[in-house]
């Protein structure tokens, strides 16, 4: 709490309480590098959710656990029959991750409930603080299982094929923590139960830090498309094959990678494309690469521009392969729909920012979040809190408490307006 401005402690919000709770969660699954290790569906994640549930009960919320292990703390509204406002995030982590990614969203949502209880404020509609299960996906190399259960979008046959790092399948893992596949399917919420979901998350980037702002308004959550591309030429001796006679798959792939870097700027201000994994064969020092397989990660917050960028990347692959007289094949591995945030919600957030004397700043989310899944069925909004040096998924992940508490004030103001 060194450097914390206690002037932010008003309207029932306590920076000390928020900091103490973040610290308590960080002790669960603490690694030797002072990082967090709470894989989804693990004992560590359950312990963190049980602690959050205790705090929810202490704050006067009605707590329940659903069949996916998600935890909900409900504060009744004046008109309790209305669909509920939801806010929260997750408590699981990547291996040796940071202490803010996920827990900050759960605890800021809980801090709003604490503030309302302290000041005697009752929202018009019910309010639920949620801690989703297994957002990060460290267990099965693919996450968001808790929010997917709430939406009911899961292809359960695909999930039953998943195997974790211990060799346990999805059904075994659920049974190990006292759940079942039927429980998981029963976690789906009815459409009329929820009005909207608001998620607070650390930025995991440097834009807010550069702007000198504590928090920002998320304009949309980018939907990723992953494509596997294989350039196939001819392997040959590095010494005896003249340059003009070569069909070097790696030369073609390298030119393609450089071109991919230039494409997003031609499509939109929010589009990005990355080649982050590459395998060359035969992968010998003195052998011309005969085959290169690489993976392109293509994202934008709007489906039309994202899909346009995908088309441009594939066109570039074909042109590059033709130029270097090699073959090209591609397989689409994943295509997730982006979730743009309604402009009405962004405008209302801007009003809350101004009322809290914070300059509104809009920025996209390149990473996926539970809000991306919930947003496929209900309206969503997101707030980012400044991340020091943009570091995330790392023990050095850090957000200043002054920034965290200012985010709580904006969240509280926004939820009261909604």
Is the CB of residue 395 less than 8 Å from the CB of residue 98? yes
Q: Is 28 helix (H, G, I), strand (E, B) or coil?
A: coil
Query: CA-to-CA distance for 44 and 52, rounded, in angstroms?
Result: 12
Is 324 marked as binding a ligand?
no
Is the CB of residue 86 less than 8 Å from the CB of residue 194? yes
Listing DSSP states for 42-69 in one string gives SHHHHHHHHHHHHHHHHTT-EEEE-TTS
Is 369 marked as binding a ligand?
no
Taking the alpha carbons at both ends of the chain, their separation in whole angstroms is 31
H-helix segments, 187-302: 207-211, 249-262, 264-267
Is 176 marked as binding a ligand?
no
Is 16 marked as binding a ligand?
no
Is the CB of residue 65 less than 8 Å from the CB of residue 196? no
E strand segments, 110-214: 127-132, 194-202
- Supply the DSSP symbol for 248: -
Is 409 marked as binding a ligand?
no
Residues of each annotated binding site: 90, 101, 136, 201, 393
Residues of each annotated binding site for Zn(2+): 90, 101, 136, 201, 393
């Amino acid at each position: 709490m060194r450097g914390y401005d206690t002037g932010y402690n008003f309207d029932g919000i306590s920076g000390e309480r928020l900091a103490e709770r973040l610290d308590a969660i960080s002790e669960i699954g603490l690694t030797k590098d002072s990082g967090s290790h709470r894989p989804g569906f693990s004992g560590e994640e359950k312990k963190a959710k049980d602690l959050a549930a205790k705090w929810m009960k202490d704050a006067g919320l009605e707590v329940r656990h659903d069949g996916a292990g998600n935890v909900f703390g409900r504060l009744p509204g004046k008109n309790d029959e209305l669909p509920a406002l939801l806010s929260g995030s997750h408590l699981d982590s990547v291996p040796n991750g940071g202490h803010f990614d996920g827990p900050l969203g759960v605890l800021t949502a809980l801090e709003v409930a604490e503030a309302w209880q302290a000041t005697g404020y009752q929202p018009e509609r019910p309010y639920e603080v949620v801690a989703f299960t297994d957002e990060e996906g460290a267990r099965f190399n693919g996450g968001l299982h808790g929010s997917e259960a709430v939406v009911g979008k899961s292809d359960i046959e695909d999930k039953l094929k998943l195997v974790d790092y211990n060799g346990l399948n999805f059904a075994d893992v659920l049974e190990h923590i006292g759940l079942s596949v039927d429980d998981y399917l029963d976690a789906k919420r009815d459409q009329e139960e929820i009005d909207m979901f608001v998620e607070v998350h650390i930025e995991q980037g440097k834009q807010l830090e550069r702007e000198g702002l504590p928090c920002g308004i998320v304009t949309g959550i980018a939907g990723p498309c992953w494509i596997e591309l294989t350039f196939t030429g001819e392997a040959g001796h590095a010494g005896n094959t003249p340059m003009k006679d070569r069909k070097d798959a790696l030369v073609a792939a390298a030119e393609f990678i450089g071109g991919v870097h230039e494409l997003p700027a031609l499509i939109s201000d929010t589009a990005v494309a990355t080649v982050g994994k590459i395998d060359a064969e035969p992968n010998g020092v003195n052998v011309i690469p005969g085959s290169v397989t690489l993976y392109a990660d293509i994202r934008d917050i709007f489906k039309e521009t994202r899909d346009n960028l995908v088309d441009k990347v594939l066109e570039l692959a074909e042109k590059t392969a033709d130029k270097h007289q090699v073959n090209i094949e591609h397989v689409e591995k994943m295509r997730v729909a982006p979730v743009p945030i309604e402009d009405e919600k962004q405008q209302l957030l801007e009003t809350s920012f101004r009322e809290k004397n914070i300059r509104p700043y809009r920025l996209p989310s390149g990473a996926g979040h539970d809000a991306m899944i919930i947003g496929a069925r209900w309206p969503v909004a997101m707030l980012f809190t400044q991340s020091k040096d943009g570091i995330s998924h790392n023990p050095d992940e850090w957000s200043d408490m002054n920034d965290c508490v200012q985010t709580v004030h904006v969240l509280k103001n926004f939820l009261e307006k909604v």
